[in-house]
Amino acid sequence: MDNFSKIIINAVDYVKTAVVKIDVFKKIKDRIEIVGSGSGFLFSTDGYLFTNSHVINKAERTRVTLYDGREEEASLIGEDPHNDLAVVKVSAFDYKPAIIGDSSSIKIGQLVIAIGNPYGFQHTVTTGVISALGRTLRTQSGRLIDHIIQTDAALNPGSSGGPLIDSEGHVIGVNTATIMGAQGLCFAISINTAKSIALQLIQHGKVRRAYIGVMTQEAELLKNIVQFYKLKNKNALFVVSVEPKSPAQKSGIKDGDFIISFNEAPVNNTDQLFKMLDMQKIGAIQTITILRGQQLIELKITPQEGK
């Protein structure tokens, strides 16, 4: 047998018992029926496993099929639609979990292997290379995920939530999406991102994010304003409305203002502001700079925890 095949076989053997099939059930006309399926993988010895949020979203019942064919009812621990990740738990204690790798050390061109259950075919293995790193992908919730891994390892419906592994069998990503109609464009959430999200999901059942209470839309700034104040951004967020009793209202932000920066970091669009409003900002005084008319104003704001 050639060495390349041996590498793939050994890597798959290292992780295969941790990979599971996930069936999602919903009530349809007074009957509970399967409405979709996906993949997942155990990452702890006490039954916690990763999958995608879009796989289990609004499921009324979730069933996990383990490597040996045993079926387990799964309970949702928490999900984060903004990063398309979910953690569920089963009572499977006698399975070797996947070994979590470090996605910060991977390289473009590196061999990767995807394992999943496309179209219900369990433990399907595909191979490829890392095509690009640091991609940004928009999820079904409309938010952008950073640090996405692009690969040409084939993914199909049902592969979502399965592991992307390296040649040693260590998980470096959670498979999440393909671009319909494109060939060789498949994506995985980096495992380092997934690890940080899993900690919050297990502790809180959700990802804690800060909230300030404004409705905004992206707007282009006038060139003379950019030049006069020597701004680093050409766009800003136009404040359409401010929620009553929100942190934004308490700080003095008004309808018609333009949000220019947050803690001196330029704000060009909603996604940039959303990423800045992480859990560390909850309850902590921050600086927000607005443009009102032709006057640049710096305000203090204390974000609250979002619902």
Whether 54 is a known active-site residue: answer yes
Candidate list 37, 39, 159, 160, residue with the active-site label: 160
Candidate list 23, 37, 39, 54, residue with the active-site label: 54
224, with CB counted inside 10 A (0-12, 13-18, 19+), is exposed
* Distance separating alpha carbons of residues 164 and 29, to the nearest angstrom: 37
Whether 251 is a known active-site residue: answer no
Radius of gyration for the chain, computed over Cα atoms and rounded to the nearest angstrom: 22
Whether 84 is a known active-site residue: answer yes
Query: CA–CA distance from 184 to each of 44, 69, 88, 153, 187 (Å)?
Result: 31, 31, 29, 7, 10
* Distance separating alpha carbons of residues 263 and 42, to the nearest angstrom: 39
Candidate list 84, 131, 166, 257, residue with the active-site label: 84
Backbone angles phi, psi at 35, to 5 degrees: -115, -5
Q: What distance separates the 2 farthest-apart alpha carbons in the chain?
A: 73
Which active-site residues does the annotation give? 54, 84, 160
